A and B are shown apart, each in its own frame.
Chain A
Amino acid sequence: MSEKPLITAQNLSVHYALRGGLIGPKPFVRAVENVSLDIAPGSFFGLVGESGSGKTTLGRAMLRAAPISKGDVLFDDGDVAYSLKELGKQELKDYRKRAQLIFQDPYAALSPRMTVRDIIAEPLEVMGLTKSRAETDERVREIAEKCRLNVEHLRRFPHAFSGGQRQRISIARALVSAPKFIVADESVAALDVSIQADVLNLLKAIQEDMGLTFLFISHDLSVVAHVCDHVAVMYLGRLVETAPTRTLFSAPRHPYTKALLSAIPSLDPDDRGKAQKLDGEIPSPTNPPPGCKFQTRCPMAIDRCRVEEPILESAGVEHNVACHRWKELAN
Chain B
Amino acid sequence: MSRLIDVEHLTLQFDTDEGRITAVDDVSFSLEAGEVMGLVGESGSGKSVTAKSLMKLNPRNAVYGPDTKITLHLDDGPVDVMSLQNDREMKVVRGGAISLIFQEPMASFAPAISIGDQMVEQLMIHTDFNKAQSKELSIEMLDRVGISDPSTRFGQYAFELSGGMRQRAMIAMALSTKPKLLIADEPTTALDVTIQAQVIDLMKDLVAEFGMGIIFITHDLGVIAQTADKVAVMYLGKLVEQGTVRDVIRKPAHPYTRGLIAALPTLDDIDAPLTPIPGDIPSPLERPPGCVYNTRCQEVIGPRCSAQVPAFSEVQPGHAAACHLYDPAEGSA
Whether a CB of chain A sits under 8 angstroms from the CB of B267 is yes
Which of A28-36, A114-122, A138-146, A192-200 is the contact stretch? A192-200
| Interchain CB contact under 8 A, B222 and A266 | yes
Q: Which residues of B contact A193 (CB under 8 A)?
A: 42, 219, 221, 260, 263-264
What separation, in Å, do the CA atoms of A19 and B296 have in the docked complex? 53
Whether a CB of chain A sits under 8 angstroms from the CB of B277 is yes
What separation, in Å, do the CA atoms of A266 and B197 have in the docked complex? 11
| Interchain CB contact under 8 A, B193 and A264 | yes
| Interchain CB contact under 8 A, A192 and B281 | yes
Instruction: Check A226/B265 contact, CB under 8 A, given A265-B222, A267-B225, A277-B201.
Output: yes
Whether a CB of chain A sits under 8 angstroms from the CB of B78 is no
CB-nearest residue of chain A to B228: A269
From B219, B225, B263, give the contact of A269 (CB < 8 A): B225
Q: Which of A162, A194, A198, A200 has the most B CB atoms < 10 Å from its CB?
A: A194
Interface residue count on the A side (C-beta < 8 Å): 44
Q: Which residues of A contact B195 (CB under 8 A)?
A: 50, 281
Q: Closest approach, in angstroms, between the C-beta of B44 and any C-beta of chain A?
A: 9
From A51, A225, A271, A275, give the contact of B197 (CB < 8 A): A275
Q: Which residues of B contact A195 (CB under 8 A)?
A: 42, 276-277, 280-281
What separation, in Å, do the CA atoms of A28 and B267 have in the docked complex? 38
| Interchain CB contact under 8 A, A249 and B222 | no
What separation, in Å, do the CA atoms of A226 and B268 have in the docked complex? 11
What separation, in Å, do the CA atoms of A263 and B188 have in the docked complex? 13
What separation, in Å, do the CA atoms of A219 and B273 have in the docked complex? 20
| Interchain CB contact under 8 A, B280 and A165 | yes
Q: Closest approach, in angstroms, between the C-beta of B199 and any C-beta of chain A?
A: 11
| Interchain CB contact under 8 A, B225 and A266 | yes
In the complex, per-residue mask of B162-180: 1 if CB is within 8 Å of any chain A CB, else 0: 1111000000000000000
| Interchain CB contact under 8 A, B276 and A263 | no
B219-263 contacts to A, CB under 8 A, are: 219-223, 225-226, 245-246, 249, 259-261, 263
13 contacts between A and B (CB under 8 A): A194-B296, A196-B263, A197-B276, A200-B274, A263-B193, A263-B197, A265-B220, A265-B223, A266-B225, A267-B249, A277-B197, A277-B198, A279-B198
Q: Which residues on B are within 8 Å of A, measured CB to CB? A: 42-43, 162-165, 192-198, 200-201, 219-223, 225-226, 245-246, 249, 259-261, 263-267, 270, 272-278, 280-281, 283, 296
7 closest pairs, A vs B, by CB? A265-B222, A198-B276, A197-B276, A194-B277, A197-B274, A192-B42, A50-B192
